[in-house]
Structure 1
Amino acid sequence: MLVWGVALLAYAVGVFHRSSLAVAGLEAADRFDLDAARLSSFVVLQLLVYAVIQVPVGLLVDRYGARQVLLLGTVSMSLGQVAFAIADGYVTALVARALVGLGDGVVFVCVLRLIVAWFPLRRIPLMTQLTGPVGQVGALLAAGPAVWALDLLGWAWFYLASAAFGVVVILALLIAVGDAPGLRSSRGASLSWAGARRGVAIAWARPSVRLGFWVHFTHHFSASMVGLLWGFPFFVVGHGTTEAQAGALLTVMLLSIVVAGPMTGWWIARRPHLALQHVVACTVAVATGWSIVLVWPGDAPVWLLALLMVVVGVAGPAALIGFEFGRIGMPAERLGIANALVNQGGFIASLGAIVLVGVVLDVTAKGGAASYDLAMAVQYPLWLLGLLQMFRHRRALPDRAHARPAERLGPSTRS
């Protein structure tokens, strides 16, 4: 549990770094003189780097072990936050966010690999579902206390203080974490470029990995788009809330994720045959919630926005079910690349949603109140694409993947 606790701390700090711009978006726009599209480019670049490096990270984890890769990622995030604190221009700030994305991109895949190495098979689904939501404590800190800290400390000291969390994580990783019980650092077989490409192709060829990719794609982007950038201005500018109310609404979403995660893990571990039905039901619920808010005449009341955040938050952990599908029949030495491919799906969707919202806001009245509702409608094509692809790859899954929980949710022990 100590190893998982330290890895979870690293993930929570990574989530905080990733989310720290959400409440500072309006200040960043003033500081760097940005319109909506250029403001979104901070998060877009961060997510682009995250998505692009997933496959290399999966290969690195399989080759060098989770501990070493996690250490490098934490160093990169901390350096990125320092650079963002002292950035005096748009380009410098972009480079800083790229460093944050580079480090953030390695963390979750490493934590998932450590869970598989340190916990028995029957506990892996629950620990995976605990990790994602509990790690959102970092986003909770970025949504609530960060508003207060940013006002108190100012831009530079706020981001320098956040970078200091990374130093604590680095020390904890060096002292407490090993790649497996009794093994400080693990090493996999070396790979040539041809071998790496073949490994990726083999993993992607599995229908279960593609299904996991589309599950994560469909369920990750709505909460990410709200939590990383557009939720705060959507509430304040689009629906007339105060900044304090907007911060509270983001906190409601994140608390819902934290509460729903363990419940989702427990449910899926006991009812694995209903996993995909659960994902589809959550997708429909989130789309319905957004529809009610977007067609509401005038500003939606705060209670309705809060209800929407509860629905988005409760449905959010369904994205992690994608990793359970991705592990079906996967040899242990390829779990890193399988997890990376699944993880890539959610961040590709998040990247697309954030870019499209920024474009719509700039095209329609430069981010005026009415244009926010129109911009949020970009989610519907992404939900439709995800549902169609899940249905397509669900039919291609082998029958044995739906038979028994241990067989369905665990990695293969075959080499």
Structure 2
Amino acid sequence: MTVDPATSASSEPAVAPAPARREPPGGRGAWTAWGIGVTVYVLAVIHRTSLGVAGVDAAARFGINASALSTFSILQVLVYAGMQVPVGLLVDRHGPRRILSAGLVLLTAGQLGFALASSFTPALLARGVLGCGDAMTFVSVLRIGSRWFPLFRNPFIAQLTGLVGTIGNLVSTMVLAQVLHSAGWTATFGTTALLGFAVLALVVLVLRETPDSAPREPLLVRRRARVPDAPPPAAGFALRDQIRAAWREPGTRLGMWVHFTTAFPASSFLLLWGMPFLMSGQGLSRAVSGGLLSLVIVAGMGFAVLFGQLMSRRPSWRTPTVFTVVLGTGAVWALVLTWPQPGHVPMWLLVVLAVAMGSNGPASLIGLDYARPVNPPERIGTASGIVNMGGFIAAVLALFLIGLVLDLNTPGGGTDYSASGFRAAFATLYLPMAVGLLQILRLRRRALTREREVIGATVPKARAAR
């Protein structure tokens, strides 16, 4: 094997090859377990994105400006990002069923608190609790997929998880937006909170974490959950050793930066600022604005199917796909932001923008495909958590910058946002985009060299299973 000189000269410590594993069976039981897990994720996405269609209503209800409105999403996403590594560790050590159950309790409490809040501080605390529960869902579903499905199916399962999760976005943009207008704040958010009880019963009573686990296994049994055939943790196992081992893999770091660079434009748009930009900045109605947000989500479904199949069959296309998505999204935003009449961007261009941002979420999941081959099964949750926090860190930065620049360009600090103010605010998207691209360029050769070193220990068995 020819090793890149730049890699061999690196001062990074050597990393042991990832051990081979026996392939899980897949089949009907796998789809049932994954289906229950992804139901939790759909509910989490509904809760996460519900504020995106209620931004104007929230500003009026709590009497706040753009920066304070951004604080809701910033805190929620910051908690989500900060919880990713601890959640990955917890999933690796205690299994996804327990973590999904805890996440549902926190999601329900947070959304119910937000429904009942009448002032800024209680509402802010509720969004923080919601973000903590949300953080426990996606990594848990990925862990279920890795336990039930063969290795070569994992890229497709990750994309399919993201695709089905977008149903939650559709519920927010197409259903909650209308219900909020007719039923009011408390009824809308309170009803979505109560859905958590039904989903919790499904997880507790039906979900099986692995092909070997028994149905309705008690949640409070004290045991160490692990992947079948994975070696037991060594004596004196330390959490920081688990994190260090996952982080030391260049594929984990590259995956995090891929997630960082691709996910945040659509995240910041759907989580908070898309509806105000379209309604206040472009003068569109609530119905038309909701339709464009829905188009982002529907386009994302199509890209998820495309990328899932493509990455499963052509792993070498990962990096070109990532660069295409990032540069394409940046180019379309540049056209929107430099349009001669900032408040009258034509509908065809807004449609193109929505479709371009639809590729962001599926492209971010390609980051997991860099981390998965080089981390052993007992470390997948930790590695996935590291990767998954990247896009949400970038989203926090984008939400903060957009809110800050909007306030600077809005006289009196009110909510009468102008088209020129949005133009300046969304121009800040290029800062995290540039940082992420530089890091991807720095790490990609080292990560791919490392992957070639370990691929023989993981892929042959997967191919034999096929």
Q: Using structure 1 for the length normalisation, give the TM-score.
A: 0.95
2-structure distance, mates of 1:411, 1:22: 44
Question: Who is 1:149 aligned against?
Answer: 179
Question: Who is 1:378 aligned against?
Answer: 428
CA contact (8 A) 2:293 2:354 kept: yes
- From 340, 345, 353, the equivalent of 2:398 is 353
Question: Who is 1:275 aligned against?
Answer: 318
Matched to 1:182, the amino acid is D
1-structure distance, mates of 2:369, 2:459: 5
Is 2:440 the counterpart of 1:390? yes
CA contact (8 A) 1:329 1:411 kept: no
TM-aligned CA deviation for residue 194 of structure 1: 7.8
**Matched position secondary structure for 1:317:** helix
2-structure distance, mates of 1:407, 1:289: 42
Matched to 1:393, the amino acid is L
TM-aligned CA deviation for residue 147 of structure 1: 1.2
Question: Who is 1:110 aligned against?
Answer: 140
CA contact (8 A) 2:265 2:360 kept: no
TM-aligned CA deviation for residue 152 of structure 1: 2.0
2-structure distance, mates of 1:349, 1:142: 22
CA change 1:409–1:339 in 2 (3 A) is farther
TM-aligned CA deviation for residue 191 of structure 1: 9.4
Matched to 1:30, the amino acid is A
**Matched position secondary structure for 1:255:** helix
Question: Who is 1:44 aligned against?
Answer: 74
2-structure distance, mates of 1:352, 1:193: 38
TM-aligned CA deviation for residue 26 of structure 1: 0.5
2-structure distance, mates of 1:407, 1:224: 36
Question: Who is 1:291 aligned against?
Answer: 334
CA contact (8 A) 1:273 1:402 kept: no
Is 2:35 the counterpart of 1:5? yes
Matched to 2:291, the amino acid is A
Deviations 1:195-251 (A, max 9, x none): 111211111111000000000000110110010000000111111111111100000
Question: Who is 1:159 aligned against?
Answer: 189
Question: Who is 1:97 aligned against?
Answer: 127
Deviations 1:106-130 (A, max 9, x none): 1000000000001111211111111
1-structure distance, mates of 2:395, 2:164: 20
1-structure distance, mates of 2:53, 2:460: 39
Matched to 1:245, the amino acid is V
TM-aligned CA deviation for residue 411 of structure 1: 11
Question: Who is 2:352 aligned against?
Answer: 307
Question: Who is 1:205 aligned against?
Answer: 248
**Matched position secondary structure for 2:118:** coil
TM-aligned CA deviation for residue 190 of structure 1: 7.7
Consecutive unaligned residues in structure 1, runs of 5 or more = none
**Matched position secondary structure for 1:53:** helix
**Matched position secondary structure for 1:21:** helix
CA change 1:241–1:402 in 2 (3 A) is farther
Matched to 2:131, the amino acid is G
CA contact (8 A) 1:272 1:405 kept: no
The share of aligned pairs that are identical, in percent, is 39
CA change 1:38–1:354 in 2 (3 A) is same
2-structure distance, mates of 1:406, 1:221: 34
Consecutive unaligned residues in structure 2, runs of 5 or more = 1-30, 218-223, 227-231
TM-aligned CA deviation for residue 339 of structure 1: 0.3
- From 279, 303, 308, the equivalent of 1:260 is 303
CA contact (8 A) 1:235 1:241 kept: yes
CA contact (8 A) 1:55 1:337 kept: yes
Matched to 2:278, the amino acid is F
TM-aligned CA deviation for residue 270 of structure 1: 1.1
- From 31, 38, 50, the equivalent of 2:61 is 31
1-structure distance, mates of 2:225, 2:441: 38
Is 2:205 the counterpart of 1:175? yes
Is 2:299 the counterpart of 1:242? no
Question: Who is 2:6 aligned against?
Answer: none
CA change 1:107–1:226 in 2 (3 A) is same
CA contact (8 A) 1:401 1:407 kept: no
Deviations 1:88-144 (A, max 9, x none): 211100111011100001100000000000111121111111111221100111011
- From 98, 110, 118, the equivalent of 1:68 is 98
2-structure distance, mates of 1:77, 1:83: 10
- From 369, 380, 393, the equivalent of 1:324 is 369
1-structure distance, mates of 2:233, 2:189: 38
CA change 1:80–1:190 in 2 (3 A) is farther
Matched to 2:325, the amino acid is C
2-structure distance, mates of 1:74, 1:273: 37
**Matched position secondary structure for 1:179:** coil
**Matched position secondary structure for 2:136:** helix
CA contact (8 A) 2:374 2:455 kept: no
CA contact (8 A) 2:33 2:209 kept: no
Deviations 1:355-386 (A, max 9, x none): 11000001112532211011001111111111
CA contact (8 A) 1:37 1:362 kept: yes
TM-aligned CA deviation for residue 336 of structure 1: 0.8
In the alignment of these two chains, the number of paired residues is 412
TM-aligned CA deviation for residue 316 of structure 1: 3.0
TM-aligned CA deviation for residue 410 of structure 1: 10
Bigger CA radius of gyration: 2
- From 220, 225, 229, the equivalent of 2:268 is 225
